[in-house]
Chain A
Amino acid sequence: MKYLIMIWHNPKSREIWESFSDAERAEGWRAYAELNESLNASGEMVISEALADPSQGRRVPAAEGQSLATDGPFPEVKEQLAGFFLVDCESFDRAMEIAGQVPESGLGLVEVRPILAMNGPDM
């Protein structure tokens, strides 16, 4: 089963990160490197990426008269996707265990969602 582990950032979490010393930041990067390495070694990693700052993102404008968006494209107060892991593992519990190793999980900013499969049972 594949699961997407999403790491969200918000102004509060960014504040915490910015307040970190170099050593604390290095500790954070090391935790990520270790998690990547262990998922590669176990054969559970599909892909993982970190996203550029939301200020670097662009949104495709809605066709005229079709706008459904209720927020501006880059609201400051909302949580923003900062990175993700796509893993292929045995169970939801195992995916949660992996997600628990993401440093941001301590802040309640990591979410796990199952991926839809292209095969299905008989009806």
Chain B
Amino acid sequence: MTEVESLLREHAPHVLAALVRHHGGFETCEDAVQEALLVAATRWPVDGVPANPRGWLITVAARRRTELWRNETARRRREEAVALLEPPEAEPPPDVDDTLTLLFLCCHPALTPASQVALTLRAVGGLTTGEIARAFLVPEPTIGQRISRAKQRIKASGAQFRMPPPDERPARIAAVLRVLYLIFNEGYTASSGPALHRVELTVEAIRLTRRLHAYLPGDGEVAGLLALMLLTDARRPARARPDGSLVPLAEQDRGRWDAAAIAEGVALVSRALTTTEVGPYQLQAAIAAVHDEAARAADTDWAQILGLYDLLDRVAPGPMVTLNRIVAVAMVYGPTTGLAQLDRAESDAALAGHYRLHAVRAHLLDLAGDREAAREQYRLAAKRTLSVPEQRYLESKAG
């Protein structure tokens, strides 16, 4: 990320919020801000960054909004022959910080997850449509369409640019966290080559979650998600070989893990667990922390990990929690116990035939010394995964 890019992404939500606050009409304001950002992205590297970047952006965006508004009004007059009510405002709107309100609006429940993701990255993250499209490996018009449809839906739903009422707040925060986690996971890629020219979605997700945490420092799940991202991303330098192939956790060179990110993540999750109500993101972060704190794979405190999975199984049960918990069971009580639990888990319709079940069974069979059966399970898992790096890894384990 260049200095100008990071500056633009920093200011984007403030500029948009200021405009919406002053003029209303999220749809037109968002387009205007996007255009102002594009102007800045081409001019600032040449002319230099203005003394007051945010003021500059607000002025340019407000001017552009007025133009868009006039065009729109003229179009409507032609179409409907009715005069519009609101006169355009000439002076730039005040600089009010409403990033949080903006985040809630972009993750509005009336939108599909794909639209929430695209709109959040553009309106709050300050990314261009082209950058988002490249990051998700789809054509630019596809993302453009998701954004414009999202804005139409927001308009149709009658959603206002203001904080949701307190009774709705927890559900709305949960929706925001889901979107941020989706962005993080989308970017959590093992391939090094093609990712070079893409916006780092993990970086963007961490940046936005950090911002959310700054607004809601007392929310344990926001802190938990930020910790989870930091603790997961900390392993990134050791997660893939130069050819892009995956290195499993147990074989990673732990000296290459990002110690600062681990320290920050551990501090965040420890504080959240002791001061707030426990939740699934905190528990997942705590599990990641136990892994990250082991100097060698053999030092991993599996009993503690199992205890955390037991809790997670109670708070937020799901097929993947079941499977990961069984891995921990096998590490504490031995592979035979794990395999027996796996047989029982297979009766769950969500797990029957799932490639992860085969991958876990393969791993446990390997631990139990049944190499032939393990290879067969690795082969089945490799055939069924939908991830290229994972498929390569599983094929290599099948030998």
* Residue positions of A touching B, CB distance < 8 A: 1-2, 40-47, 88-90, 114-123
Contacts and interface: CB of A to CB of B under 8 A. Distances in A.
By CB atoms of chain B within 10 A, which of A1, A41, A44 has the most? A44
B388 A118 contact: yes
23 contacts: A41-B145, A41-B149, A43-B147, A43-B149, A46-B139, A88-B114, A88-B138, A90-B112, A114-B386, A115-B386, A116-B385, A117-B386, A118-B137, A118-B387, A119-B186, A120-B390, A121-B188, A122-B239, A122-B248, A122-B249, A123-B246, A123-B247, A123-B393
Interface in B136-162: 136-139, 141-147, 149
B100 interface: no
A92 B391 CA distance: 20
Contact of B149 (A42, A45, A121): A42
Interface stretch (B13-21, B189-197, B262-270, B310-318): B189-197
Contact of B138 (A46, A90, A119): A46
A41 B146 CA distance: 8
Nearest to A46: B138
A115 B385 CA distance: 10
B387 A117 contact: yes
Contacts of A117: 386-388
B142 A44 contact: yes
A46 B115 CA distance: 15
B139 A47 contact: yes
Interface of B: 112-115, 118, 136-139, 141-147, 149, 185-191, 194, 232, 235, 239, 246-249, 385-391, 393
B232 A122 contact: yes
Contacts of B393: 120, 123
Contacts of B145: 40-43
Contacts of A45: 142
A123 B248 contact: yes
Contact of A123 (B113, B137, B390): B390
A120 B142 contact: no
A89 to B, nearest CB: 8
Nearest to A47: B139
Given A88-B136, A122-B232, 20 more contacts: A41-B145, A43-B114, A43-B115, A43-B143, A43-B145, A43-B146, A46-B139, A88-B138, A115-B386, A116-B386, A117-B387, A117-B388, A118-B191, A118-B387, A118-B388, A119-B185, A119-B191, A122-B235, A123-B248, A123-B249
Given A120-B246, A120-B390, A121-B387, A88 B189 contact: no
Contacts of B232: 122
B3 to A, nearest CB: 28
